[in-house]
Amino acid sequence: MGRMKLLSNIINNATNQVEGFCIVKNVQLKVNVKGAEYLDFTLADAEGEVNAKLWDYQSAAHGVYSAGEIIKVRGTINMFRDIEQLKIERIRKMNEKDDVDLSSIVAESPVNGEMLFKELYDFAGTFGDEDISRLTRYLLQANKEKLERYPAALRLHHAYKGGLMFHTHTMLSVAKKLVEVYSAINPELSADLVYAGVILHDIAKTAELEVGPLGLATAYSAEGQLIGHLVMGASMVQTAAMELGIAEEKTMLLSHILLSHHGVPEFGSPKPPMFPEAEIVSTVDTLDAKLYEMFDALAGVEVGCFTDRLWALDNRQLFRHGHGITQAENE
C-alpha cells in the first residue's frame, strides 16, 4: 500500500501534526527499556498504512484497543530509520456521532467481490471435465461468504476487502490467454486443470487469515501459522473430493497445483511445479503479486524518479518512466 491519507491531513505545519480516522490493523502492548508500557500500532486507511506508537500508555486514560476497530488519532509524523512513524498524542474510538466516510478508511477491491465470485462460479460450470467442475464449484460454494469479502493477504499484494477474489479473477484472465497460446502448441494441455488450479489456489486463505467484519486481515490464525494455506488448501481439495467421489488421480493433480504454486521451498512449496498446468498457475500467481506491488509502489513516485528499496521485491528500487501516461490519458 502507499502513503496513508491520514498522514497528509496536516493540522499544524510547524510540528507536522496530523489528525484523522483510521483502522487498527494490529496493536501490541509492549514495555520500553525503562519499564514503561506503550502501544505499538499498525494503522491503516484506504491509501496505506503506518507504524504508530502511543508512549506512556495508561489504559484508564487512553482506553483499550484491538485489531479491526476504527479510531481517531492526533499525532506527529517522525522519521525512524528513513520510514515514517506516527507518535500518537490523542486517541479515541469512533462513535455514532462521527460522520465518517468508511470508503476513505477501508480499502476495497475495484470490482465487487460478490460479482467476481458469481463470475468464477459460473465459469467453473463450463469446464469440460465434470469432476473438476463439481469439485471447484463445491469448494467455492462452501466458502462463498468469506471468499466474497476476504483480502488476499495480511499485508502486501491485494490486502484489501475483496482482494482475494480480485487477485483470483485477474489471474484467471491471464491464464486464459496463456492456455490459448500454449494449447495450440500442445493440445494435451488441460485448460480445466489450469483454471481450477487458479480458482482454488488460495482457497485456504479463508482459514489462514483472521478477518474482521470490515474485510481486512488483522492476523494469521494459529492453523495458518502452523500449517499454511498451501497444505490447508490441498487438504480441503482432498476432503471435498472424497465427499464427492472424485477420481483419485484428478484429486492428486489439483492437490499438487495448490502445494506447488509458490514455486520453491523458501516460499512454502514442498514441491516445485512438476507438470505444465502447475507451472502456469505458479507463474501467473507470482506475476500478478509482483505487478501489484510494482504498480502500488510506483503510484506514489514522480515521473523520472525511483522508489525506495522494496523488500518484497528483493530490495529493488523501481523507476517510473512515465511512457504510458500519455497513452492512458488518450484512452
Q: State whether 36 and 138 are in the same domain.
A: no
305 and 289 both lie in a single domain = no
For residues 260 and 21, what is the distance between their CA atoms, to the nearest angstrom?
A: 41
Domain that holds residue 305: 301-330
Kindly state the cell numbers that stand for 25.
490493523
- Does 88 map to a domain? yes
- Nearest C-alpha neighbor of 102 from the set 219, 207, 24, 21: 21
Q: Indicate if 242 and 122 belong to the same structural domain.
A: yes
Q: Are residues 199 and 144 in the same domain?
A: yes
108 falls within a domain: no
Per residue of the chain (331 residues), what is the pLDDT tens digit? 567 788 888 888 888 899 999 989 889 999 999 999 999 999 988 888 899 999 999 999 999 998 888 999 999 999 887 788 999 999 999 988 888 888 778 878 888 889 999 999 999 999 999 999 999 999 999 999 999 999 988 777 787 888 999 999 999 999 999 999 999 999 999 999 999 999 999 999 999 999 887 788 888 999 999 999 999 999 999 999 999 999 999 999 999 999 999 998 888 899 999 999 999 999 999 999 999 889 888 887 889 999 888 888 888 999 999 887 755 555 5
Q: In CATH, what number is assigned to the domain containing residue 15?
A: 2.40.50.140
Residues 6+ apart with CB under 8 A from 229: 202, 203, 204, 205, 207, 208
Domain's final residue, options 82, 103, 124? 103
Q: Is residue 124 part of a domain?
A: yes
